A and B are shown apart, each in its own frame.
Chain A
Amino acid sequence: AQKITQTQPGMFVQEKEAVTLDCTYDTSDPSYGLFWYKQPSSGEMIFLIYQGSYDQQNATEGRYSLNFQKARKSANLVISASQLGDSAMYFCAMRAYGGATNKLIFGTGTLLAVQP
């Protein structure tokens, strides 16, 4: 069975600092994708970044980067130069290749608060 674990229920970071949000995963599938979504207080789910299990390099999208350590089964999100607008819930999710199994499996999320 696939599982995503986010062990940090909440995090504080000072504006302009970098922050790392942890995510570990468990799957027996050799092919899988890892996603991070942001959920602001308004409730919508915003896609941030993707990392494939066979990708040779860590994914980056602007201020977001993914620290992918396959042997440790971790896919931590790094947000550089935090902004007040980064305050939100962050979810790590996984998608494993298994025929009809296209669903995303989510972790419990980390609530990030950026302080001025």
Chain B
Amino acid sequence: EPEVTQTPSHQVTQMGQEVILRCVPISNHLYFYWYRQILGQKVEFLVSFYNNEISEKSEIFDDQFSVERPDGSNFTLKIRSTKLEDSAMYFCATTSQGALLKETQYFGPGTRLLVL
């Protein structure tokens, strides 16, 4: 069964460093999302991406964050200068038809980011 993959599974970084989280969506999916989950808290939407553009972003997704699809397969989330509060699990999710309500978003296994 096709699945969303994410790398790395874990990342430890120093405050102020840049990190890039990578996601490989399911091959025929066109809509991509990043969510984050701070330890013990609920999953929060960060950004949605379609047709090489951001379609929506949350207030969490400030200028320190960026997304791109550099090579037509990977979908990346970059955090330019990490802060302690960026420590969280980051999930990539993808769907084939973003506009349909019932379209399931399939989540990757997550990247656990720890900022020291």
Contact = CB atoms under 8 A, between A and B. Distances in A.
Interface of A: 31-33, 35, 37, 42-47, 50, 52-53, 91, 93, 95, 97, 100-109
Interface in B82-116: 89, 91, 93, 95, 98-99, 101-102, 104-110, 112
B88 to A, nearest CB: 11
Interface of B: 31, 33, 35, 41-45, 48, 55-56, 58, 89, 91, 93, 95, 98-99, 101-102, 104-110, 112
A100 B48 CA distance: 9
SS of B interface (majority):
strand
> Counting chain A CB atoms within 10 Å of each CB, which of B31, B45, B106, B108 scores highest?
B45
Contacts of B104: 35, 47, 50
Contacts of A93: 43
A106 B42 contact: yes
B110 A104 contact: no
Contacts of A32: 101
A42 B55 CA distance: 30
A40 B83 CA distance: 27
